[in-house]
Amino acid sequence: MRLTLDKPHDPRHALFPDSCAQRIWVSANGGFCFMKLTVVGCSGSFPSAESACSSYLVEADGFRLLLDMGNGALGELQRHCGLYDLDAIFLSHLHADHCIDMCAYFVARYYRHDGGPCPPIPVYGPEGTEHRLTTAYADTPTASSMSEVFDFHTVKPSTFDVGPFTVHTERVRHPVEAYGIRVEHAGKSLTYSGDTGVTEALEDLARDTDLFLCEAAFTHGKENIPDLHLNGREAGETAARAGARRLVLTHIPPWTDPAVNLADAREVFDGPVDLAAPRATYEI
């Protein structure tokens, strides 16, 4: 597995599909990489000066799955792929820092400059996702306009296929209905916590995962609010109990010192630990 800072997508192609969608990545040791993770945004709660809110692009076999689309993510996404190149979207929960740019994406797809509205793209989210987004936009042409460009699917704890991926979802602990997701392809796995407090469900979801993308919004010894967020130490402990191979801390708010959370995670998890950074890529 290799971490790189990805070269930005050519903005001249932002509106149009890639002419070469089928991609194969080669790792540092010359082996094939079956999945690629790109950090589109990783700031917790609200965007920072350096990063949009939560959004992560997962690619394999030319298929692009986006995990969350928080504040500022749509602009950053166009550094990495064309505006209409996504194949599916997963929303972990319906707090604005994980989904609000779906309103802007609705505009881009519904009012497409050339060719009319885009065909519906699958959107997987908790119960009430369509209503939440329609209400947030507040002025869709009709009550069904969102569903003309988004094919909404309600997420429950389950296993299902999305393109070339096998996806497992589990309910995690947060004030609203929220899900962690495990994405598997060709024997490799990526697990994303979404927003959560400590829960065995996340530990089970991340069991032996190759890359564990885990929130660490709180600081150990400061905030202690059950069923809301993890701190760096708790993220590290969850990764250790799950037997994860690599831990990437994300969703750290601008007012939290990421170096403290990184050090806390490293105290309890023996594997590699990174801080998520915008435009960083991981080959799995």
Question: For 170-211, how does the pLDDT look when each residue is reduced to its tens digit (9 = 90+)?
Answer: 999 999 999 999 999 999 999 999 999 999 999 999 999 999
Amino acid 30: pLDDT: 52
Structure pTM? 0.89
> What pLDDT sits at residue 2?
55
Decide: residue 211, CB within 10 A, 0-12 exposed, 13-18 middle, 19+ buried: buried
pLDDT, mean of residues 237-259: 98
Which pair of structure tokens corresponds to residue 10?
Answer: 């050519």
Q: Which CATH number fits domain 36-283: 3.60.15.10, 3.40.640.10, 3.40.630.190, 3.40.109.10?
A: 3.60.15.10
Please count the CA atoms within 13 angstroms of the CA of 114 that sit on its side-chain side.
5
**pLDDT for 5:** 55
Position 143 scores a pLDDT of: 78
Per-domain residue ranges of the chain: 36-283
User: What tens digit of pLDDT does each residue of 121-169 get?
Assistant: 999 999 999 999 999 998 888 878 899 999 999 999 999 999 999 999 9
Confidence of residue 233 (pLDDT cuts 50, 70, 90): very high
* pLDDT band of 33, cuts 50, 70, 90: low
CA angle 247, 227, 125 (to 5 degrees): 75
| Arithmetic mean of pLDDT over the chain | 91
Q: Is 185 helix (H, G, I), strand (E, B) or coil?
A: strand
Dihedral angle at the C-alpha atoms of 162, 73, 254, 131, nearest 10 degrees? -70
**pLDDT interval class at 227 (50, 70, 90):** confident
Residue that has been written with the tokens 């947030």 in this structure: 136
In contact, 1 and 34? CB cutoff 8 Å: no
pLDDT of amino acid 222: 84
What distance in Å separates the CA atoms of residue 180 and residue 62, rounded to the nearest whole number? 24
| Predicted pLDDT of residue 138 | 87
Backbone angles phi, psi at 180, to 5 degrees: -90, 160
Do residues 118 and 112 touch, judged by C-beta distance below 8 A? yes
106-127 residue pLDDT tens: 999 999 988 889 999 999 999 9
Across-strand partners of 170?
180
Q: What is the pLDDT of residue 8?
A: 44
